[in-house]
Structure 1
Amino acid sequence: MFEKGKLSFWDLGTYLTVGCFASFLAAFYIFYGLSIPFPSEAKNLKDFSVSLVIIVPVVFLLFGMFIEPIANWLVKHIEKIRWFKPSEIRNRESLLNTIKNHLPDDDIDSANLYRYCKAVVELKFQNSNHHIFLARFGFYRSMSVLLVLISIINFFIFKCDAINITINVLLAFFAYQFLKRSQVFKNHMEEVVYYNYLALKLSKDEQK
């Protein structure tokens, strides 16, 4: 999601949302779960309210950017398990074969096909909405990992009673749903890139 040294509007929204959620969770488990007393000096922060308006969003943003690659690494390993494997794009093989028929160089292998198509689309069609799907994919992926982390922490911090077990089962369920949702948006993102590439190539061929 962090590409070409700049952040899109959708990237910012994703990182801020994930970072904000994770920050509040961290505060909850530190001050309530671990019963660490809230520092009395915190009341003096009101004197720096103007600075906090700038600092707090930056902290959320950096926190979200820190979580994203960790979630990406974990999900890649989790998806190797049969129950968590993503479903493929419908007619994927037919679509990829069509793409290959419109490639200028036969040396582009299947592993780099998506990267090539995305590079062409970003160069020629900068208003492509694949960034929206990329941001949603990253959001659901990161939230899935955070929910799993919460359920694990709950077993160590809170007593293992019926309420805790019920909450953790619900968290695991939502984590699974978020993971599957991220996979759906990943497929949408790839489809947008592939079809935009085809549209560019076909329109170019018609102009000849």
Structure 2
Amino acid sequence: MIEKIRISLWDIFTFSFSGFLVAALVTGHTLVFKLITLADVKDFLIGLPVTTSLFVIPFGLTLVGLLLEPVANYFDKYILHPLWVKAIAEKDKHKTEEKVLEKEIRENFLGKLNGKIENPYSICKEYVETKQLSTTFMVFLSRYGFYRNVSFLFFVSGVTDLFISSSWGIGVGILIIWWILAWTAKKRAQDFYSYLAPTVYRCFLIDKAFDNLEEKET
């Protein structure tokens, strides 16, 4: 039960902070382009009831993040990742470890499935989750999702500012800045993503090692 609660908390972290970033970017843009003033924002926040501040707004931000998730995931899969995949190299250390652990699992634990499935990651992940062996990989998955969302929002902000800026020169300059930030966030997301498979494989192998030890003792 505790493990399940931790997983849900990591999900909430990703969704709520993503929603907060959306609100911050929208507010920032409306302030910069003088659609509202800072005084308007202060008056709005001061005038909010306590229940709204404590419950409604956090729930609303989490809902925004939840709705953002599939959009950012689709955009990352079909646009950002193909666009920047060659510019963001995977860390050799993690990739090498992943291949070594994957080979060990294929040869010793997949049995007849060895060679029939492309990647044992999904099976191992399901095994680790079902037995509630560890939530460490959920931390990496959550942070990967958050930085992927950040990259998407920064990318879209750059395109938006390109068209609403007072001149094309300023718009292009702002676009470049936003896209540098988006690339940085995407690179950070890939760093956390590279931790996932090795972490899941280690949990799987450790549990199997304990199972073998118990069998020998009995």
TM-score higher than 0.5 here? yes
The aligned residue for residue 106 of structure 2 is 100
The aligned residue for residue 12 of structure 1 is 12
The DSSP-based 3-state class of the residue aligned with 1:102 is helix
The aligned residue for residue 82 of structure 2 is 80
Q: Aligned equivalents of 1:91 and 1:50: distance in 2?
A: 49
The aligned residue for residue 129 of structure 2 is 122
Deviates more, 1:120-129 or 1:30-39: 30-39
Task: Please report how far the alpha carbon of residue 184 of structure 1 lies from its aligned counterpart in structure 2 after TM superposition.
Answer: 1.3
Amino acid at match of 1:28: G
Aligned residues: 204
Percent identical among aligned pairs is 24
Q: Please tell me whether the aligned partners of residues 34 and 157 of structure 1 are also in contact (alpha carbons under 8 angstroms).
A: no
Q: Aligned equivalents of 1:76 and 1:131: distance in 2?
A: 20
Q: Aligned equivalents of 2:36 and 2:214: distance in 1?
A: 69
Task: Please report how far the alpha carbon of residue 125 of structure 1 lies from its aligned counterpart in structure 2 after TM superposition.
Answer: 3.7
TM-score (norm 1): 0.82
TM-score (norm 2): 0.78
Q: Which runs of 5+ in 1 are unaligned?
A: none
The DSSP-based 3-state class of the residue aligned with 2:166 is coil
The aligned residue for residue 156 of structure 2 is 149
> What is the RMSD of the two structures over their aligned residues, measured on CA atoms?
3.1
Q: Aligned equivalents of 1:44 and 1:206: distance in 2?
A: 60
Q: Aligned equivalents of 2:7 and 2:209: distance in 1?
A: 30
The aligned residue for residue 187 of structure 1 is 194
Structure 1 residues 104 and 90: alpha-carbon distance in aligned structure 2, compared to 1, 3 A threshold: closer
Residues 56-79 of structure 1: CA deviation (Å, up to 9, x unaligned): 000100111111111111111132
Task: Please report how far the alpha carbon of residue 126 of structure 1 lies from its aligned counterpart in structure 2 after TM superposition.
Answer: 3.7
Task: Please report how far the alpha carbon of residue 91 of structure 1 lies from its aligned counterpart in structure 2 after TM superposition.
Answer: 4.4
Structure 1 residues 43 and 13: alpha-carbon distance in aligned structure 2, compared to 1, 3 A threshold: closer
Q: Aligned equivalents of 1:199 and 1:7: distance in 2?
A: 21
Residue among 168, 176, 184 paired with 1:169: 176
Structure 1 residues 70 and 5: alpha-carbon distance in aligned structure 2, compared to 1, 3 A threshold: farther
Q: Please tell me whether the aligned partners of residues 155 and 179 of structure 2 are also in contact (alpha carbons under 8 angstroms).
A: yes
Q: Aligned equivalents of 1:124 and 1:44: distance in 2?
A: 45
Q: Which runs of 5+ in 2 are unaligned?
A: none
Amino acid at match of 1:19: G
